[in-house]
Homo-oligomer: A and B are copies of this chain.
Amino acid sequence: MSSFWNNNISISIFGESHGPAIGIVIDNLPPGEYIDMEKVLQFMARRAPKKDGTTTPRSEKDLPKIMSGVLNNRTTGAPLCAMIENTDTRSKDYSNLQRLPRPGHADYTGAVRYRGFNDVRGGGHFSGRLTAPLCFAGAVCGQILERRGIYTGAHIYAIHGIYDDAFSHTKITRDDILAVREKSFPVINDSQGEKMHEDIINARKGCESLGGMIECVSINVPAGVGSPMFNGLENSIAQLIFGIPAVKGLEFGAGFKVAEMVGSQDNDAFYIDENGHVKTKTNNHGGILGGISSGMPITLNVAIKPTASIAKPQETVDFREKTNEILQIKGRHDPCIVPRAVPCVEAAVNIALLSHMMDYPHF
């Protein structure tokens, strides 16, 4: 029940950062779906470290091998397993973590939960590396959705207080989504992106790391997908999004801004558009009402904390000896995880959407 997510689509993620391999099993994919591996790799490449100084120099090829569930490039209906071997691991960097937990990491909580038997090398099963198989699944689900016109796109919305423009929540198009997806630094407003980029480089030089926010939108989800209460779209998306390490917040539509609003502002007026479709004039509801899609774009923001691994000396404890200690983290780390988390957020949304679409009549 830990790294399993059991819904209409089920996923099971396995692996530890410095173990032999990481991977995923995806069950209940519709059979006969063409899987374009080129596009899958493109999706995953968006999560891979960059050569521009904004990410860890660890070279993760992240080449998933499909072990089952695909034949002649089409899903067979059987569980799809993809595996990524871990190759570029330098385990000696992590030798003291079993005593001195890194602030902001799960070293301490993991050690207590698993009584010291968890693999601490590179964060083990808590590592951000485990988002690679998530992206694989998201890429696969995304292709199936895009074939039905449903596109999900995300971009860096903020880094360390520098904000990008937002997507239009009522008029965003497939082209808008594809435009930002192509960029190596996925922002809408490139001049803001340059400021962010510079800020990240400075953070790296200053032994710091930066937090941020990601905006994600899905378009063309038909009205009527989801359920009220505990298995609605928001619940499923939330359960997956909070599976991405470093996520500290999630909001849909107007999100936390509702705390300052009145009802007549927040309520989205319905109207009939020129094609006879029911639409809303604004989209504070974020495309979901009562856990069910309204046909408007589904919109959400995700808060990503600064990378916990920083090179500055930090206060920690030797939790076996019960002494206060100073820790200086070595190893290779991302000064800002936000750009690489963009496809992860898309992936989580794709998986949740496809899972709920499986219930949809005539899918």
Q: Are A252 and B249 interface neighbours, CB within 8 A?
A: yes
State whether the Cβ of A37 lies closer than 8 Å to any Cβ in chain B.
no
State whether the Cβ of A109 lies closer than 8 Å to any Cβ in chain B.
yes
Identify the interface centre among A157, A210, A230: most chain B CB within 10 Å of its CB.
A230
Binds B, one of A45-53, A185-193, A306-314: A306-314
Q: Are A117 and B249 interface neighbours, CB within 8 A?
A: no
Identify the interface centre among A4, A76, A110, A259: most chain B CB within 10 Å of its CB.
A259
A3 in contact with B27 given A12-B10, A81-B14, A272-B322 (CB within 8 Å): yes
Q: How far is the CA of A15 from the CA of B27 in the complex (A)?
A: 11
Quote the shortest CB–CB distance from A246 to chain B (angstroms).
8
Beyond the given pairs A2-B228, A213-B259, 15 more chain A to chain B contacts, judged by CB atoms under 8 angstroms and listed by A's residue number, are A1-B227, A2-B28, A14-B25, A15-B68, A16-B71, A22-B67, A104-B289, A109-B293, A125-B229, A159-B259, A211-B263, A259-B304, A270-B324, A271-B315, A272-B324
Residues of chain A at the chain B interface (Cβ within 8 Å): 1-8, 10, 12-16, 19-23, 25, 27-28, 31-32, 65-69, 71, 74-81, 83, 101, 103-106, 108-110, 112-119, 124-126, 130, 157-161, 203, 208-213, 223-232, 234-236, 238-243, 245, 247-272, 276, 278, 280-281, 284-286, 288-294, 301, 303-310, 312, 314-317, 319, 322-324, 362
